[in-house]
Structure 1
Amino acid sequence: MSHLAATAPSTPLHSATAVPHDHTPQGGLAALTLAAIGVVYGDIGTSPLYTMKEVFAPHTGVALNSAGLIGAVSAIFWALMLVVTLKYVLLILRAHNHGEGGGLALTALAAQAVGNRPALRRGLLLLGVFGATLFYGDSIITPAVSVLGAVEGLQLLAPSLQSWVVPISVVVLVALFAVQRFGTAMVGRAFGPIIVLWFLTLAVTGVSHIVEEPAILAALNPLEAVRFLHTQGSHVLLALGAIVLALTGAEALYADMGHFGRRPIQLAWMGLVMPALALNYLGQGALLMRSPEAIDNPFFRMFPEAALLPAVVLAALAAIIASQAVISGAYSMTRQAIQLGFLPRMRVLHTSATASGQIYVPMVNLLLLVGVVAAVVGFGSSSALASAYGIAVTVTMLITTVLTFFVVRHAWKMNPVVAWGATLFFVAIDLALVAGCAVKFFDGGWFPLAMGCALFLLMSTWAKGRQLVLASIREDGLDLPEFLEQLSTTQMNRADRTAVYAVADPHTVPQALLHNLKHNQVLHDRNIILTVRFANTPTVPPERRAEVQSLAPGFWRITLHFGFMETPDVPEALAGCEAQGLRVPLFETSYFLSRESVVATPGSGMAAWRERLFSVMSHNAGSVVAYFRLPDNAVVELGTRVQI
């Protein structure tokens, strides 16, 4: 593996946002709000397809009568109010990392807030990384359950189509993943209007049934939710495990904040999404109060027969959009994890010349496709997949609550009584939801947890392995100042060019430099010791991109800083060093990289099997040349063995 000294610093380059403030990307508020509706709310917007059916599934024990319906709808409504509106929309959206949201951005923010307590900082980093791994489980289950739930509407048109639900779903999903390489810009422009139509449809169909059975409006009383949960007795966790399906997608509000800003996301939720969801759940409850037999598919039973086919088509489009949102999120999460030092480099393709966030990661796309198809074929129905759906989401919600506490208490300096009180309130809700999903562990809940644990193992192994590699390089490397002092007394042939030597430790002599001197007996006129660091912030201001330090005649040390949401373009960053008095000509510069061959050895580093796993990951890491946008014809790679 060729290595360009890309490291996540132990301390942030810039301090995190100490106090909350709004961050809205460029663009009109109305346009951003429309786009937010299309991208952010696709997942939670498709929850009505299957939530009510699962709440009254036989295994939950919830009675399909007026009291049960009013109580269940009340529990869903107040779950949306407390978890989504109060927790995410009003509180957590304020905890942004220089405008960016999401699990890893929040993790970096929390870790910075407790930077003076190393043990706690490491613990929060590990907790946040585990939460990030569960997002990948969501990225597999969301497309599977959403598309299956939509296509299952065909069974109402013609029961004979039941055997075609899984094959049609697989075809739709394969086509969805196949077009990812072309980027989301074109389809993205259509997201907003389609999802707006979807939410308007939810609202209109809901109102039409509420008018016929207004008694369902009693569900707006929070006491009905309390009474409902109390009367479930020993089955309360099963009921909670189904109700949580109405909340899936809440994390997307936070994860996509960097794309749209806090205000557009809040306006979209308050102005359209929340009212439409509430009206539709109330409408489904009203329908079931009049026609309990509609429980086989209460969402599609709300439509008259003539409107059923358009409803299925619209639901399928909404499901595809919901899937697109989490797939794109998986790409962004992968890039963040790579640049924060938790995953090896992968090939990242940019699908837009103007929007840096629109990327495509072929390896992630392939793995997600395999996982989604396996989930569809293996589980076979949206009801079966619903058992696997909640547990990853609820554990992620719990982790988000814990991390947010350290931000509001230590970064915002909020009153400890308020900080602890709010945290314990939301932790109690999250734990109840986690427990409700945990009872479905053997019915499919193990699936996302197993994926999360496997990914956590890979990510923690990579991070620990990189630490061991850097420690080995420092231990075996030569001290740079002493080397330069000895070199100044030695006559050496000089090449009239610039050499850039990439190092993991800027205080040791690059192995590539030693190999160059040994084999070629030549030294360049200008030699740059280069280190690339990724900050715990999404972006780094251009004026702080490069640190230039003169070491000796003909030698400079340059440290380049990038945010974890930025694309590292090393030649462009080096060209900017001219403002600091060092000219790095593009066509007169050679890049010397050390291709590390990691050798696992007995010792106190990691278990032998983890060291071998890290060695395999290192060997298969993506090209450093492409990742850092180095010119292919100006790179020289020299091999070196590193023992860990």
Structure 2
Amino acid sequence: MKVNKKVSIASLLVALGIVYGDIGTSPLYVMKSMLMVDNGHVSKDLILGGVSLVIWTLTLQTTIKYVMITLEADNKGEGGIFSLYTLVRKKAKWLIIPAVVGGATLLADGMITPPVTVTSAIEGLNLVIPIETRGIIIIVITILTLLFLLQRFGTDVIGKVFGPMMVIWFVMLFILGIVQVAQFPGIIKAINPYYGIHLLITSPRSVYILGAVFLCTTGAEALYSDLGHCGKRNIHYTWVFVKISLIFNYLGQGAWLMLREGNVIKENPFFLIMPEWFIIPGTIIATIAAIIASQALITGSFTLVSEAIKLNLFPKLQVRYPNEDKGKVYIPAVNMLLYIGCVLLVLKFQKSEHMEAAYGLAITITMLMTTILLSQYIRYIKKKSSMAIMIFIVFTIIEAAFLYANLFKFINGGYVTIIIAGALIFLMYIWIYGTVIRKRFSQYVGILCFKKHFRSLKDDKELPLFATNLVYLTESQNYEEIESKIIFSIFNKQPKRAKFYWFVNVKVTDEPYTKEYNVKTIVPHEAFYIQFNLGFRVEQKINIFLYQVIQDLVLSEEIKYTPKEYMIGHSNKHLVGDFKFVLLQEILSNESELSRWDNFVTSTKLLIKKLTVSPEKWFGIDTSIVRIEKVPIIIGNGETLKLTRID
């Protein structure tokens, strides 16, 4: 699947509407957060140095690292930390650690984006209409509630206005900024990195300033995550316009503050640079931009979790596709958790300045993890070891400095996002390690040894026909081996006579949109192994896929099936009979010999499976043709007890 490869006005508008919501709304709170470091006191060094640091952070971190370097690490046009991981995961097993940590921290810190942007926008109304904190909280929660409710209907209708609205937003940023720069042209000096370096060296609060400055680039990760929706060239071209608009707005806020050097400013300079008559329409535009930023975060979270599920890094959750665009997913459980998290954060912090004090800590960890994966990509895939080392050293130093600065936010509320990230990491650890434990003790048998058993079972007329097509899902990627529990289910546990036996394996590929399959014959015209190679962004509709494959095999005469005359539409050669899927549900046996920790992990994973989406729903199987069989997991030989007869 290729998305927006060509550059057009429409594709540029799509890029503006999707990619820049988070980073584009940063002028709402960055300068205000910087002022609060010195309790609102305006000084020449703080303003010139702060604006300089913002400009160079946008240049080094966003432009060079993400736009120029990271966007080149695309996976068949797709981006994001999990897409990057799939490119390098075969090179070293330990790379799963930065992928998991990066994904979890991105989700956790992203939860605070909607509250901080929407609250910052609504607070602008205070300049013309005094609103109590309680009133602002009610307005913000109402907006967020409507936004999350709309997710189930898809975002196509809303998405069509995103691009034009973001054009209006960035033009507004540029005009507001350049008007103020004309009032104090001396602010242009902030482009010189000297002022930023001087501020960091001389200011006793340089660490806190750096933490505020970092807020200008928190949305840089979204540039990479949304690559698949827009394409590289569209992001490259639109970023020029976006960066110019952002820089001029920061310069404009700086110019306005420089004219008031020595004063104490408690209000948000973003709204103070607006003409009084424009504050209400400006706040409305800012609120819409904040909603767009929130929407980008929400859809990004859906995509991130969907990819993690397909890569077996996260428990299976129900995934829906509300629009025709299959690249856009809706995950009800994630939507609900994000909504609850956003509302609780609004109620806890209440004011945007309190949210800013907690914002950014976890995303620095995400950026560090991306740097690790990116350096490995350049080392192994691009075969440029020297460049990989240089990129790793340069950006690790920059991001480690930002991480150190943001660590001071831990007490002020940063612990909230760290706790959320920690919970997500633990959840993924349970899921991944639980799989490792099960695979370690899984028992496989050579299925080719059971050819006679299949024929004997088929010839046993005492058994009723269980199904025309009997289907089992297997984790074995070798068609000659199958789980012993499947063999036991067929031949021992209520022997199941069928006309055809199908053993289906789903392999998630490193490419996003692969849709392939291969067939191996176990018993000619009777038993077959099918492996579906599906991309990590492809919906797994096994029921439909299997029907299509069997139709192909009937047409190629690899299987012989003659529809009965009484069947409706029996003249249709595509009829392949009825289906029955047998899904084996694992339960932990009391006979298993596991360490306490492994037992806890296995039990917890089985509990999570019960609470999340069922296998039949996940694989898109019609529940009316599914039979669930419980299978005990017995790990270890167990103690053999011998009884003595005494009668």
Residue number in structure 1 paired with 2:274:
303
Superposed CA deviations along residues 71-90 of structure 1, whole A, max 9, x for unmatched, are 11011001101100111000
Structure 2 residues not aligned, in runs of 5+: 560-573, 636-647
C-alpha spacing 1:161/1:570, structure 2 compared with 1 (3 Å) = same
Output the CA distance in 2 between the equivalents of 1:419 and 1:509. Answer: 42
Does structure 1 residue 562 correspond to structure 2 residue 534?
A: yes
Residue number in structure 2 paired with 1:347:
318
Output the CA distance in 1 between the equivalents of 2:13 and 2:576. Answer: 43
Please tell me the root mean square deviation across aligned C-alpha atoms, in Å: 2.2
Alignment map for 1:230-629 (pairs within 5 Å): 230-232=201-203, 234-270=204-240, 272-291=241-260, 292-352=263-323, 354-414=324-384, 416-472=385-441, 474-475=442-443, 478-488=445-455, 491-493=459-461, 495=465, 497-505=468-476, 507-509=481-483, 511=485, 514-518=488-492, 520-540=494-514, 542=515, 545-553=516-524, 554-574=526-546, 575-576=548-549, 578-579=551-552, 581=556, 582=558, 585=575, 587-599=577-589, 601-604=592-595, 606-629=597-620
Letter in 2 for 1:492: D
C-alpha spacing 1:392/1:515, structure 2 compared with 1 (3 Å) = same
SS at match of 2:238: helix
Output the CA distance in 1 between the equivalents of 2:577 and 2:288. Answer: 49
The more displaced of 304-313 and 24-33 is 24-33
C-alpha spacing 1:446/1:521, structure 2 compared with 1 (3 Å) = closer
Superposed CA deviations along residues 275-319 of structure 1, whole A, max 9, x for unmatched, are 000000000001111134445210011111111111111111111
**Contact 1:151 1:316 (C-alpha < 8 Å) held by counterparts:** yes
Q: Which has more radius of gyration?
A: 2
Residue number in structure 1 paired with 2:566:
none
The alpha-carbon deviation at position 591 of structure 1 amounts to: 1.7
Output the CA distance in 2 between the equivalents of 1:407 and 1:509. Answer: 35
SS at match of 2:302: helix
**Contact 1:351 1:359 (C-alpha < 8 Å) held by counterparts:** yes
Residue number in structure 1 paired with 2:32:
53
**Contact 1:207 1:283 (C-alpha < 8 Å) held by counterparts:** yes
Letter in 1 for 2:20: Y
The alpha-carbon deviation at position 96 of structure 1 amounts to: 0.8
**How many residues of Structure 1 are paired with residues of Structure 2 in the alignment?**
606
Superposed CA deviations along residues 529-548 of structure 1, whole A, max 9, x for unmatched, are 111121222121x4xx1121
The alpha-carbon deviation at position 636 of structure 1 amounts to: 2.1
The more displaced of 577-586 and 37-46 is 577-586
**Contact 1:347 1:622 (C-alpha < 8 Å) held by counterparts:** yes
Structure number with higher relative contact order (C-alpha < 8 Å, ≥ 6 residues apart): 1
**Contact 2:437 2:602 (C-alpha < 8 Å) held by counterparts:** no
C-alpha spacing 1:209/1:27, structure 2 compared with 1 (3 Å) = same
C-alpha spacing 1:635/1:612, structure 2 compared with 1 (3 Å) = closer
Output the CA distance in 1 between the equivalents of 2:364 and 2:251. Answer: 24
C-alpha spacing 1:139/1:585, structure 2 compared with 1 (3 Å) = farther
**Contact 2:42 2:264 (C-alpha < 8 Å) held by counterparts:** no
Letter in 2 for 1:481: L
C-alpha spacing 1:599/1:388, structure 2 compared with 1 (3 Å) = farther
SS at match of 2:510: coil
Residue number in structure 2 paired with 1:141:
112
The more displaced of 483-492 and 585-594 is 483-492
Superposed CA deviations along residues 339-386 of structure 1, whole A, max 9, x for unmatched, are 11112211111111x310122111111111111111110111111111
Superposed CA deviations along residues 378-432 of structure 1, whole A, max 9, x for unmatched, are 1111111112211111111111111100111111011x33321232111111111
Letter in 1 for 2:198: R
Letter in 2 for 1:412: K
Output the CA distance in 2 between the equivalents of 1:533 and 1:605. Answer: 32
The more displaced of 459-468 and 36-45 is 459-468
Structure 1 residues not aligned, in runs of 5+: 1-21, 115-120
Output the CA distance in 2 between the equivalents of 1:608 and 1:631. Answer: 33
Output the CA distance in 2 between the equivalents of 1:196 and 1:62. Answer: 31
Residue number in structure 2 paired with 1:123:
94
Output the CA distance in 1 between the equivalents of 2:620 and 2:134. Answer: 49
Output the CA distance in 1 between the equivalents of 2:536 and 2:634. Answer: 29
The alpha-carbon deviation at position 587 of structure 1 amounts to: 4.9
The more displaced of 584-593 and 608-617 is 584-593
Output the CA distance in 2 between the equivalents of 1:643 and 1:281. Answer: 63
